[in-house]
Structures are given as C-alpha cells and as structure tokens.
Amino acid sequence: MSEKTYTIKQVAELVNESDHTIRFYCKEGLFPFAKRDRNNVRRFTESDLEGVEIVLCLRDTGMPLADVRHYMELCTQGASTLEERLQIIRDQETRAREELEVYKQKIAHLEEKESYYVQAIEDQNGEDKCNPLMNVEMNESTGEFTEIH
C-alpha cells in the first residue's frame, strides 16, 4: 500500500494558502522534497506537509525566500548542516528583533499622538489644535497650500 499524497491544490487547502503561492514556491525550489508522479504532477506526502509548514513559518518571520530555500536545501543534507541551519535561524531572529524595535518606536509615536488628541478633545473649546492644516489653505486653481496668518 502506497503512502497518501496530495496535489498542490490539496496542500494549499490544508495549509490555508493559495495554490498560486504553493506553485510559486515549488518553482522557487522551496520544496526540494516534493516529487512528481508519472504524469509529471507534483505530489506531497504527509511528511512533506511538515516541510511546507516550515517554509510558511520561516516566510512569516520575514525571512527572504533565498534564505528559506537555502535552509530547506540544508535540511535535505541532514545532521551535518545543523550548525549552519541554527545560524540562519539566529540571523533571522536578530532581524526580527530589529524590526520589533522599529515597530515599538512607531507605536510609542502613535501613543503620543493619541494622548495629544484625547487631551485636545477634553479641552475642546471649538478649536482644532490637532489639525496640521488648521493654518493652511489650498489655492484651488494651483493646488498649492499657503500658510494663513
């Protein structure tokens, strides 16, 4: 009895991804484990699905597809590549932490703006002090903005 296999479309449904994406990743060499059947249809086994999940997980961390491909190629080479794979993961973790710091700064900026608006609403006396265009008007014929004094 042969192992159950899945087509690209079936894999896409199982992992909640578009079949276009799965097909693209196949062409990009991200699934070196997937084999073709006698009709030249790419087939995935149950164990291949774990590899698909790993690729999607790495992609979701923001890892460049070239790095994902290299990582998956290393996986096919076995235990001799463990240290190199670990380094790829560590490098991506470093990049993700750097991105996180940038997003933390963006959130802090938004929180600052939010508190400014909350205070402006509480103090409201008919003025719109939060409007960056409050002292600006647009010339309708030229589309240019000029400051109002």
Domain 5-103 has CATH 1.10.1660.10: yes
Domain ranges of the chain: 5-103
pLDDT, one tens digit per residue, over 87-145 is 999 999 999 999 999 999 999 999 998 988 888 888 877 677 767 777 777 788 888 87
Residue 46 has pLDDT above 80, yes or no: yes
Whether 45 contacts 39, CB under 8 Å: no
Structure tokens that stand for 105 in this block? 């700064």
Residue scoring higher pLDDT (23 or 134): 23
Q: What is the pLDDT of residue 25?
A: 96
